[in-house]
Structure 1
Amino acid sequence: MKMGEMSGFQLGVVGALFLSVASSVSIVICNKALMSNLGFPFATTLTSWHLMVTYCTLFVAQRLNLFENKSIEMKTVVLFGLLNGVSIGLLNLSLGFNSVGFYQMTKLAIIPFTVLLETIFLKKQFSQKIKCSLFLLLVGVAIASVTDLQLNFVGTVLSLLAIVTTCVGQILTNTIQKKLNVSSTQLLYQSSPFQAAILFLSGPFVDEYLTSKHVFAHKYDPIVVGFIILSCIIAVSVNFSTFLVIGKTSPVTYQVLGHLKTCLVLGFGYTLLHDPFTERNIIGIFIAVCGMGLYSYFCTQETKRKQSGDLLGSQIKDKDGAPLLGVKSMVHQDKDSHEVKKSPKDSLV
């Protein structure tokens, strides 16, 4: 990769990270106002509307030739979309059946489980420095956000299923984009209808079970409708940036970014919504930010080291390439002449 291409790639990564953080923090604040202040607690159904609006937006963008649609095998797209839809539903059910503290622990467990899956199935190596920085990050987020831990069997099973489906879904997001050479926009466009469909069908039942209220019996006054529309508009950016970040970086980096969002939401909640804030929150956020900083630093160092190794290997290959190519071409010529001589015999046989 040339220097100009590398600079462009790094700017793209920074832009994707910034878009993801800004949009995610915005939608959390919007949804918190919608659910807490305006009494609209139907999270799963709201997510299905988010995905429907995302698909419609991408459909219009594709028709305007803002991006090129790329065909992906239907079986892959359907399974991927359904998996991500089930993951969102399970996370919402986990929150409904567990305490907030245990739900936060569920989200924290996604990083080590992702590392485990990538190590076992993708043979990806994580250095001890990166593992230590991730551990420091998780400790900080746990101190800042985890309160009570109330265990129950159904809640624990749902949390485990949510962790597995979320990790597998995010790993597939990264793998599909790289293996099939599709962009985040193309993958999101192909898969969002299936995610929206499974959540739209199951969402009202999940929400009714968790809230004892039916989403379509809710009173939709202009303020509630306005916040729902705003939430759906922000969600387009959230969904797009999620696929973009995972495609450009890795599922682990995306989860690290997610915990940065948690810290920012805690800070904005205290500043804008006047949520309770203690010394424990401050200490936890400080530790988490230190862990994130170390993770970013170690990842950058390893990337530079890998690039230097690839460049050195390329230079050695170029230096030694000429005589080898000469020998190789002579060998091929001899082989070709030998095959030409044998061809009449082969044709007879």
Structure 2
Amino acid sequence: MTAKSATKEKIGEGEKFQLGTVGALSLSVASSVSIVICNKTLMSSLRFIFATTLTSWHLLVTFCSLHVALKLRFFEHKPFEKKTVMGFGILNGISIGLLNLSLGFNSVGFYQMTKLAIIPCTVLLEILFLGKKFSKRIQFSLAILLLGVGIATVTDVQLNALGSLLSLLAVITTCVAQIMTNTIQKKFKVSSTQLLYQSCPYQAATLLISGPYLDKLLTNLNVFSFKYTTQVTVVIILSCLISIAVNFSTFLVIGRTSPVTYQVLGHLKTCLVLAFGYIIVHDPFNWRNILGIMVAMAGMIIYSYHCTLETQQKVTEVPQLPQAREGENDTLINVENTSTILNKRPPVYKDKN
């Protein structure tokens, strides 16, 4: 294989990867915005305000649907370290519970600041523990994004000791869980579906046990005493069905891109929800919301542009081959991970067993 053909092959693979990534991002946006609208109806209009318990049902339905898909051979079960899966699943469940507690014990403005803190915290953790590097252009685009979302969403900011501690723990556990989602898939070579299937039971169990107590603490109401009308039941079922796509796309996006990109996508969803809320249900909207969304969208566009540019540069960076001397036309060239390896000896086939 020549350097030119190797480059073309890598570019082709890069284009397929980008197409799959766009599909994953689109699914994540569409499903997340849909479930936010559905849950807003459930909690605002129908007064079902038990968020943690609802999330546990989402995860339980997701696991059941994946189990059916496994039986129908839509994907292959690939077990790996049970301790890793269990720890990862429980950590995910704890992070969800802490985020809900953070919202309950803080003002909405401070909760939004908590969500904004996830990106810089993730970047810091990846730099310190994974040795990852972020270019100045990426850092600049993230700063613009966070500024825009802050302008659009952060209003009243009220501090209290317990709420601040819960927010700090929520940020740390969320960052670690999302970084683990990416690293586990790469380390154990499992797909997003395989990881979600194995971790879902532990996430669901964590929230099924703690959910009713957390909801009682936050709402002073009992989820089991709620009057489940036909309308409420139908909307809950719809929310659970949409959550299958939400949970699947979350793991898919983080696995194909990065935890930081997933958080950027999350802020895009926030902007879309704000816009849809104004258009569909006529939520209050002012110049700050408009300005913030415009600045945030600019940051997302710049971030996407530079991410795409850097990805293409990595794909096309195939080292130039040295000129072959006369009589060396039988040189074997293996291209792997955009690296070109010269091997002048006959290939040695190792027993894989």
Tell me, yes or no, whether TM beats 0.5: yes
Task: Tell me the residue number matched to 1:242.
Answer: 250
Q: Which letter does structure 1 place at the counterpart of 2:82?
A: M
Pick aligned residue for 1:189 from 182, 194, 197: 197
Deviations 1:278-307, CA, capped at 9 Å, x for gaps: 011000000000000000011111112222
Task: Tell me the residue number matched to 2:140.
Answer: 132
Matches within 5 A, 1:1-349: 2-309=10-317, 311=318, 313=319, 315-316=320-321, 322=331, 325-326=343-344
Deviates more, 1:297-306 or 1:183-192: 297-306
Q: What is the Cα deviation at residue 325 of structure 1?
A: 4.1
Evaluate the alpha carbon distance shift between residue 2 and residue 318 of structure 1 in structure 2; reply closer, same or farther with a 3 A threshold.
farther
SS in 2 for 1:148: coil
Aligned mates of 2:184, 2:114 — CA distance in 1 = 25
Task: Tell me the residue number matched to 2:339.
Answer: none
Q: What is the Cα deviation at residue 274 of structure 1?
A: 1.0
Q: What is the Cα deviation at residue 4 of structure 1?
A: 3.2
Query: How many residues of Structure 1 are paired with residues of Structure 2 in the alignment?
Result: 326
Aligned mates of 1:177, 1:325 — CA distance in 2 = 31
Q: What is the Cα deviation at residue 308 of structure 1?
A: 2.3
Q: What is the Cα deviation at residue 10 of structure 1?
A: 1.1
Check whether the contact 2:110–2:157 (CA below 8 A) recurs between aligned residues.
yes
Q: What is the Cα deviation at residue 316 of structure 1?
A: 2.1
Deviations 1:78-130, CA, capped at 9 Å, x for gaps: 00000000000000000000000000000000000000000011100001111
Largest Rg, 1 or 2: 1
Q: Which letter does structure 2 place at the counterpart of 1:48?
A: S
Check whether the contact 2:89–2:203 (CA below 8 A) recurs between aligned residues.
yes
Could you tell me the TM-score, scaled by structure 2's length?
A: 0.90
Task: Tell me the residue number matched to 1:345.
Answer: none
Q: Which letter does structure 1 place at the counterpart of 2:130?
A: L
Evaluate the alpha carbon distance shift between residue 46 and residue 189 of structure 1 in structure 2; reply closer, same or farther with a 3 A threshold.
same
Deviations 1:123-174, CA, capped at 9 Å, x for gaps: 0000111101000000000000111000000000000000000000000000
Q: What is the Cα deviation at residue 6 of structure 1?
A: 2.2
Check whether the contact 2:138–2:307 (CA below 8 A) recurs between aligned residues.
yes
SS in 1 for 2:228: coil
Evaluate the alpha carbon distance shift between residue 325 and residue 246 of structure 1 in structure 2; reply closer, same or farther with a 3 A threshold.
closer
Task: Tell me the residue number matched to 1:342.
Answer: none
Check whether the contact 2:11–2:316 (CA below 8 A) recurs between aligned residues.
no
Query: Unpaired runs of 5+ in structure 2?
Result: 1-8, 333-341, 349-353
Check whether the contact 2:10–2:315 (CA below 8 A) recurs between aligned residues.
no
Q: Which letter does structure 2 place at the counterpart of 1:316?
A: L
Deviations 1:186-241, CA, capped at 9 Å, x for gaps: 00000000000000000000000000000000000000000100000000000000
Aligned mates of 2:101, 2:186 — CA distance in 1 = 31
Once the two structures are aligned, what percentage of the paired residues are identical? 66
Structure (1 or 2) with the greater helix fraction: 1
Evaluate the alpha carbon distance shift between residue 2 and residue 32 of structure 1 in structure 2; reply closer, same or farther with a 3 A threshold.
same
Task: Tell me the residue number matched to 2:338.
Answer: none
Aligned mates of 1:173, 1:258 — CA distance in 2 = 16
Q: Which letter does structure 1 place at the counterpart of 2:36?
A: V
Aligned mates of 1:98, 1:317 — CA distance in 2 = 62
Query: Unpaired runs of 5+ in structure 1?
Result: 333-349
Evaluate the alpha carbon distance shift between residue 278 and residue 325 of structure 1 in structure 2; reply closer, same or farther with a 3 A threshold.
closer
SS in 2 for 1:40: coil
SS in 2 for 1:316: coil
Evaluate the alpha carbon distance shift between residue 123 and residue 38 of structure 1 in structure 2; reply closer, same or farther with a 3 A threshold.
same
Aligned mates of 1:278, 1:319 — CA distance in 2 = 67
